[in-house]
A = this chain, B = another copy of it.
């Protein structure tokens, strides 16, 4: 299938697909006329990339998943490298949530203060 069709099936733009290719994530055979020609595996790869990106992964982080699919596995997360990325991501999320909670708590505090001293008092925050 050609790039337009793939884009539609995957739910993204042709520009994005070409970008993935430029980053070495999506290979492409060429038809006689020079058009990119994708097969079912490419479709699965593209979908894997999109779903990971949608979740919040960086393009780079999808690489192990792509490699895993290309290696013949039925799922992109069937390989240890990919699983490792899952774990890293979970840690990142935990850290992020922790910081957000801290900030949230801080903001609540500020809200309280702002209410009480309806006009004055000069606090000061900080983090990071």
Contact = CB atoms under 8 A, between A and B. Distances in A.
A42 to B, nearest CB: 15
Interface string A26-55: 000000000000000000100100011011
Given A55-B128, A78-B120, A87-B111, 12 more contacts: A47-B124, A51-B125, A51-B126, A78-B117, A83-B111, A83-B114, A86-B107, A93-B100, A93-B103, A97-B97, A97-B100, A97-B101
Interface string A90-128: 100110110011011011101101100111111111111
A119 B90 CA distance: 21
A74 B120 CA distance: 5
Interface of A: 44, 47, 51-52, 54-56, 73-75, 77-78, 82-83, 86-87, 89-90, 93-94, 96-97, 100-101, 103-104, 106-108, 110-111, 113-114, 117-128
Contact of A75 (B83, B100, B114): B114
Contacts of A54: 125-128
Contacts of A47: 124
